[in-house]
Structure 1
């Protein structure tokens, strides 16, 4: 997916703001999942859940960085319509990891 930009003309509406806020919400969701994975890993004694939590914290930081860059791109003289492909793939991978970590933390407790 190639980056596509258009000249910023007048009032772009609320779409750029919603787009920037969605990256912040994604980062927050990843951070919450990281905390849950870390807690489950420490309580149950599963080091792989601690690793999943650490990776999710790193992904959360990356989502904050991408959100900051996107906010600047959407507020400039030219609106950068498409985010970088690697950012979208990274968020998809982090979301999958968060989902798998959450499911695994349920089963790691052994029903306790």
Structure 2
């Protein structure tokens, strides 16, 4: 299990909070695009399971935005939380795998139609 390490901020955190926020935003955007592709393929091919994956991915992309906002605040405060919560990392990893599977499935379903 990953434990959080908290240290006192030594001054200007530099651009780390901004880079972290941008990385989480890019991840959320990629998940949202995969959600759109999965939903479109599901609607075109008449596959409700693919539409459901798209809806789940939209929800997951919103969660990624929320986690990114929390991480930015953690890194820019007076006390720096070095390690993100283990649940957040596991959740993003699972959501990314689902996004990848949805994207691949939408290509195969779209190509078969």
Superposition TM-score, scaled by structure 1 size = 0.93
Tell me the distance in 2 between the aligned counterparts of 1:85 and 1:104: 28
2:6–2:79 CA contact under 8 A, matched in 1: yes
Tell me the distance in 1 between the aligned counterparts of 2:60 and 2:81: 23
Give a deviation string over 1:57-77, Cα, whole Å, max 9, x none: 010010011111111111110
- Quote how far apart the aligned CAs of 1:24 are: 1.1
> How many equivalent pairs are there?
112
Q: CA RMSD in A?
A: 1.2
- 1:2-17 equivalences in 2 (<5 Å): 2-17=3-18
Residue 65 of structure 2 corresponds to which residue in structure 1?
64
Runs (5+) with no aligned partner, structure 2: none
- Quote how far apart the aligned CAs of 1:17 are: 1.7
Runs of at least 4 residues off by over 3 Å: none
